[in-house]
Amino acid sequence: MHFLDQAKIFVRSGAGGPGAVSFRREKYVQYGGPDGGNGGKGGDVIFEAVAGLNTLIDFRYAQHFKAMRGIQGMGRDRHGAYGDDLVIQVPVGTQVLADDEERTLLLDLTEVGQSVVFLRGGDGGRGNASYKSSTNRAPRQHGPGWPGEEMYVWLRLKLLADAGLVGMPNAGKSTFINQVSNTKAKVGDYPFTTTRPQLGVVDHKSREFVLADIPGLIAGAAEGVGIGDRFLGHIERCRILIHLIDATQDDPIAAWHIVCDELSEYGAALDEKPQIVALNKGDLLDPELMADIAEQLHAAGAQDVIAISGATGQGVDLVLDRILEALPAKSGIEGAKADGITEDGTWSPI
């Protein structure tokens, strides 16, 4: 399934049904009077965040969404039926943006099951029976029904992940996420092997969290160089970033500065998020050389530098420990005890 994180669609709520103009016609009833019913209300357009979706690919093939209009009123005081609401299901983390230059945020769906009425259907028109009065015994006016609302909007998906992987191309991000999760990310010895974000669920010390891998950043990504920075939006919601650096490249410190500058240039406070610097590919260099590069990164301003090897798993557990420390304790030992699991991992009914 292809990954698509933005799409432009047209949405329209249903118009209200018109009211009816009718008079009672019945044998032996000389003055039956008006009996035209009201029209039904048009259907609403509703956005709903559902689990199990992580792409907007469905909106590539269907861009127009129109709710059902209300049914017209009829004689014998029969009111028209309401139009069915149109529920548009989107992945959790989807934002609905206005089609203007500023891309104004209209909706932000961040929870499973969150449902919001986006466009309200038009009210139905009044039938002539509702216009009857002591001075207007045979009204012939009726309401045509209120029109629905319509607009073009942009859907933008920002994946919900607890931690995000950043780094330059060939830093080993795909190898790392494959090492710690069941993700089958493509691995190659050429730049930009990853062309779309990847999500992986990591199970570490009886806790689970979601890890996001995005395509590599290079100098000038904020201006569109390489794949650009369009995928950085997927790590805006992350609590912590893992910055992978290829220790075998010519200047690891310059690589660290380049990625940090791109995060700062992008905005959204990405450069202020807690960051773990993982000095990768330690299996290819001597420990002394890895320690020397780590000291240079410390001197350059990196706070937490850990030497790892994504291929062999060396130092990966320490990185995962740091991630757990930055996440809320919602599924650790406290949660395990609540489920009847003791600290040594055995189950107990007490």
Q: Is 194 annotated as a binding residue?
A: yes
End-to-end CA distance of the chain: 45
Q: Is 173 annotated as a binding residue?
A: yes
Helix H or strand E segment including 162: none
Q: Is 172 annotated as a binding residue?
A: yes
Q: Is 281 annotated as a binding residue?
A: yes
Q: Is 168 annotated as a binding residue?
A: yes
Q: Is 339 annotated as a binding residue?
A: no
Q: Is 283 annotated as a binding residue?
A: yes
Q: Is 216 annotated as a binding residue?
A: yes
Q: Is 282 annotated as a binding residue?
A: yes
Owner of token pair 């959790």: 92
- Give the count of beta carbons closer than 10 Å to the beta carbon of residue 107: 16
- Give percent helix, percent strand, percent coil of the chain, each to the nearest 5: 20, 25, 55
- Give the count of beta carbons closer than 10 Å to the beta carbon of residue 328: 8
Contacts of 321 (CB under 8 A, 6+ apart): 204, 205
**187 near 200, Cβ under 8 Å?**
no
Helix H or strand E segment including 131: none
Q: Is 171 annotated as a binding residue?
A: yes
Kind of pairing, strands 94-98 and 150-157? antiparallel
Q: Is 174 annotated as a binding residue?
A: yes
Q: Is 214 annotated as a binding residue?
A: yes
Q: Which of 83, 12, 1, 102 is nearest to 42 (CA)?
A: 83
Q: Is 167 annotated as a binding residue?
A: yes
Q: Looking at 40-123, which runs of residues are DSSP E strands?
A: 45-50, 64-66, 86-91, 94-98, 105-109, 115-119
What are the binding residues for GTP? Answer: 167-174, 213-216, 280-283, 309-311
Known binding residues: 167-174, 194, 213-216, 280-283, 309-311
Annotated binding site for Mg(2+): 174, 194
